[in-house]
Amino acid sequence: MIQTARVEEFMARELVVVRPNTEIHEAVALMLDRRVSGLPVVDEGGHLVGILTEQDCLRVAFQSHYHQAPAGTVANAMTSNPTTIDAQDDIMTAIDVFLRASFRRLPVLAGGTLVGVLSRRDALRVLRTQA
C-alpha cells in the first residue's frame, strides 16, 4: 500500500556529490555528464552542507558572463541547509513536500547522514506502480 511505502525503498543510493570548494564549471560538467538536475554538497566528513541546482548554476553563469567575472566555487552558489527528508518517512510525506515547493530532488537522511536522493520522478514511479 502506498501509505506504507518508505522513501528509502525508492531513493537513488548511488550519489553524485560535490564539495563546497569545487569550481562551478566542474559541477556543471558533472551535472550534464550524469544527467542530474542537482547535486548534494558535502563536507570532508561526508555531511550534507548544501545543494547545488541547475538554477543556481544558471544564475552564476549569467552573472559571470554579464560581469565578465570568474564563476567561483560551489560554496558561493549553493543553497545552504537544504530541505531534506528522512529515509523512514512514507512516500506520501515526500510527495507533499514536492507539491509544496519547486524542488526536483530531496536529499534523504538517516540518522543525520546523507544516504540518498529522492526525485519527483522517483515519486511518480511509486504512484504509477502502486495505483
What are the average pLDDT values for consecutive 10-residue runs of the chain, which has 131 residues? 80 95 95 94 93 93 77 92 95 94 92 93 85 59
- Grid coordinates belonging to 25: 564549471
What is the CATH topology of the domain spanning 2-130? Answer: CBS-domain (3.10.580)
pLDDT of residue 128: 81
CB proximity list for 96: less than 8 A, separation 6 or greater:
none
Q: List the chain domain ranges.
A: 2-130
- Grid coordinates belonging to 95: 510527495
pLDDT of residue 4: 72
> Torsions phi, psi of 63, nearest 5?
-65, -40
pLDDT of residue 3: 60
